[in-house]
Amino acid sequence: MRTYIVTGGAGFIGSAVVRELIDNSKHRVINVDKLTYAGNLDSLKTVADSSRYQFVQADICDAVSMAKVFADYQPDVVMHLAAESHVDRSIDGPAEFIQTNIVGTYTLLEAARAYWQQLSAEKRERFRFHHISTDEVYGDLHGTDDLFTETTPYAPSSPYSASKASSDHLVRAWQRTYGLPTIVTNCSNNYGPFHFPEKLIPLMILNALNGKPLPVYGNGQQIRDWLYVEDHARALIHVANTGAVGETYNIGGHNEKQNIEVVRTICALLEELAPNKPEGVARYEDLITYVTDRPGHDVRYAIDASKIAAELGWTPQESFETGLRKTVQWYLHNTTWWQRVLDGSYRQVEGRDEEGAMDER
């Protein structure tokens, strides 16, 4: 049995990792989360009572707290997912992204290094620091056949992606300079159950169910590669357990779709699964509204995930069609979860924008 520290374990991807570890392994999981607006412990109710699960509310930027977490729980693996991740929010207020994504990663790396250096030789050999990042660090692709590989040069477009690129560089530098056994993964757009409603897919589902406009940036022809979150969680754990130190692995869903195609597919699924529409709505597609494009909006992302398939034997289980159907069904069957997010009752501290801006990721 290993002990995993999962930072950001109350977030969308982090909670999927925690659930996967508790439900399908015998490992112990320490969830370290500050519980900012996107952290939601409701997403972990099914595992909260497990004797192998422990929640610690702490800020990764707090060096004293991080040192205590390492000393108290003696982890074998760190899976670092804690991050500010909303592009629109980074444009409106980049300071938080610099602090959490860059300073927070630095602070966590230093805590991990101090802990790792005092371990026995055997435990040092087993220890891993797995940094979870994004394909947005690569910028965008304009050709129809180009793909992001692990050697694609970084060209981030937004404060969010620039801060994540910075954190990736720090992780690799700590491996090269200090020998800390790190691994980096860069993923494509995630979707699935428990996704915070400001993101594109849940926002479209919930707005449609409530008869609200479905805001689509620009002409809606931006292309993203979509990865089902539970596939991603399985990939992350597999990389943490079997990936080579110092390596980078791109994780993608092999599902390139235009944003407008995603929205229309959601509308079609709702026509089938939720035919009783809000008053005044004839077709869900009638709610689609084109809005001014965001500054610096990337045109196309697409991941080449051949390395992780060839070297580690991982491929996604879900197609976009099966994954999106499961996602829509989940939101239809779990109204309490998203209603508590929308009315703010999932957290005691107020301050969330109830409408939410659209974001693909």
What would the two tokens of residue 160 be?
A: 């969010």
Run of H or E including 22: helix 12-24
Is 318 a catalytic site residue?
A: no
Measuring CA to CA, which residue among 316, 359, 309 is closest to residue 84?
359
The two structure tokens encoding residue 164:
């994540």
Indicate if the alpha-carbon torsion angle 207, 213, 214, 216 is positive or negative.
negative
136 is catalytic: yes
In the chain, how long is the greatest CA-to-CA distance? 68
- The CA distance from 47 to 62, in Å, is 27
Active-site residue identified among 160, 191, 217, 228: 160
Tokens 């693996």 correspond to what residue? 77
160 in catalytic set: yes
Provide the β-strand partners of residue 215: 289
Q: Tell me how far apart the alpha carbons of residues 202 and 182 are, in angstroms, rounded to a whole number.
A: 33
Find the length of the chain: 361
Residues noted as catalytic: 135-136, 160
